[in-house]
A = this chain, B = another copy of it.
């Protein structure tokens, strides 16, 4: 169960979707499912599914299919959703506020601090957390063990904040700023570049 192979980035990107579909199956009391049936639901080919899920051990048996609960547990483990994370948001503008109010708590992501540079936002309360001056970020990070920094700031400020986060124990950055950050140490970056997602849509509409 606990063994971990090196899993490719392409597979990692598909895992949350598997996770979501398996959770639905459990809700609907489905105990097992074949790669063909899963394929019809999730939209990947059956062969792609078998190849992907092969990474995590022997959950599929010919003629039996996958044990839904076991597979879900294993994918949860690989996704790290069985853990708890302390998060902070830097940038309390539109996106920052939306993320603050989005309920990620139930998935184990606990919002612990919010920072901004704008005096009009400092002191504002979002979900009982007061927005602090970004000048206090470094001290806050030194006093609290924060796992994830969520960057919702303009691109010009992003690398500087990224550096502060990397140098003060943060392990992952969820980056909404439209820029590619260069992390130091072994900090992981996941971009949520909304403009690029919208351009992908307009590209699809024109192709």
Residues of B within 8 A of A193 (CB): 16
A85 interfacial by beta-carbon distance below 8 Å:
yes
Of the listed stretches A25-33, A74-82, A131-139, chain B binds A74-82
Cα separation A172 to B198 with both chains bound (whole Å): 10
Residues of B within 8 A of A157 (CB): none
Cross-chain contact of A174 among B7, B95, B148, B201 (Cβ < 8 A): B201
| Chain B residue at minimal CB-CB distance from A178 | B20
Residues of B within 8 A of A51 (CB): none
A207 interfacial by beta-carbon distance below 8 Å:
yes
Whether B98 contacts A198 by the Cβ 8 Å rule is no
Residues of B within 8 A of A199 (CB): 15-16, 19, 79-81, 107
> Which A residues fall within an 8 A CB radius of B?
4, 6-7, 12-13, 15-17, 19-20, 42-43, 78-81, 83, 85, 94-95, 97-99, 101-102, 104, 107, 109, 147-148, 171-174, 178, 180, 188-190, 192-207
